[in-house]
């Protein structure tokens, strides 16, 4: 799952996947603008078949935040 997320981030933002770390800030470190963030959230929703609320999306600042969010949604209740 982490590899898929990092592949998505790399593809959406045009950054080298090898440079991505859990503490990489999507906006500050990777240079994403608001449109990039929206497109990334849409890609996550599509690839993992989950829904991300606007409020939840605002809380996803780092790659690690995204990984934890997806993992929490993928784990059966």
> For residue 77, what pLDDT band results from cuts at 50, 70 and 90?
low
Q: Of the residues 7, 33, 56, 72, which is catalytic? A: 33
Q: Which residues contact 12 (CB under 8 A, 6 or more apart)?
A: 36, 39, 40, 43
The 10s digit of each residue's pLDDT in 14-46 is 999 998 999 999 999 999 999 999 999 999 999
% of the chain surpassing 90 pLDDT? 91
Catalytic site includes residue 72: no
Domain boundaries, the chain: 2-74
> What would the CATH number be for the domain defined by 2-74?
1.10.1200.10
Round to whole Å and give the CA distance between 4 and 72: 15
Calculate the average pLDDT of the chain. 95
Which residue in the block uniquely carries the two structure tokens 């090898």?
A: 18
């Amino acid at each position: 799952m982490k590899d898929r997320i990092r592949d998505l981030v790399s593809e959406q933002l045009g950054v080298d996947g090898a440079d991505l770390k859990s503490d990489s800030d999507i906006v500050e470190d990777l240079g994403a603008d608001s449109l990039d963030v929206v497109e990334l959230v849409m890609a996550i929703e599509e690839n993992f078949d989950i829904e991300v609320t606007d409020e939840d999306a605002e809380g996803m600042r780092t790659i690690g935040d995204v990984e934890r969010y997806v993992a929490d949604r993928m784990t059966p209740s």
